Structure 1
């Protein structure tokens, strides 16, 4: 068993009952080929929650400072994290993200770039649009809804893959493409109705 699989198993055993996690639309994540899962960002726990609810292994960017210690660097890489220098254009991180997609794997992104302190959607950075336009990956919008409080329900919704071909053909700029992705994330949040949500663990 890989460290990634072991971590996913352990975190699932903790997080699912602790936050009463409900997963909707897991079938919308393509089983094969490159995928970018784009989610809103409300907590430091968002990456592991998406990691345990997604049917596919996910690669996430993590702030470069975390990779300065040898042990932590090895651990993060083992669970599919790679470094990014925040506050600047990190070409190495961009290249690594594109390589992950070229290899047919799944990249997890938070278009806002930072956590929302109020829980409302913020404006996206251009990064998600860059990866969406520079790859042939399926773009799956994702919404995390609910408080991270023990005993309270936390819902993770995976929307249907977006059709980005029109944006690619029109050579839409990265910021506008990121805006389009955020609109779909916003729709998931706006249309969510807990009374009619099905459970899909």
Structure 2
């Protein structure tokens, strides 16, 4: 057997000076599919540059100041599930972010190139093309415990905090960022507790 690093292939033979292989018939996992790393689930509080905490409430993901008691609520603690834990490429980790709310996983997902929404879903073991809206590439910055989270679906779009001009509320959005430019709203701070 030979492999293409994604699925097992069976050698068939040489015909017309070409090598032929047969793949498994019931395996529909493509080479670009991401696999869940069952040993790598991280739990963090996510904070903005001005130390507001990301939370999930009835109308989505927002940042706000929290008291010590407020940080004990499950909607403040984000779980980061790693897929394809291969940091050797230097590209970062592919992850899904979610909070547990009343026994349900509320996943951070891209609605479009600018907006984020909460999607109730179970985490898949394999992520195919349809689920890429909920996948982010987590990249470390020069500052300890600060990360950039680039949308897997919308390249050069990063999770960021934005203050709503009418209400003053801070919400989570996708923001365009040039690769070499420092963009503080895109730099998220992660703290274990």
Q: Which has the higher contact order (CA 8 A, sep 6+)?
A: 1
Select the structure that is richer in helix: 1
Select the structure that is richer in strand: 2
TM-score, normalisation: structure 2: 0.24
Larger Rg, first or second structure (1 or 2): 2
TM-score, normalisation: structure 1: 0.24
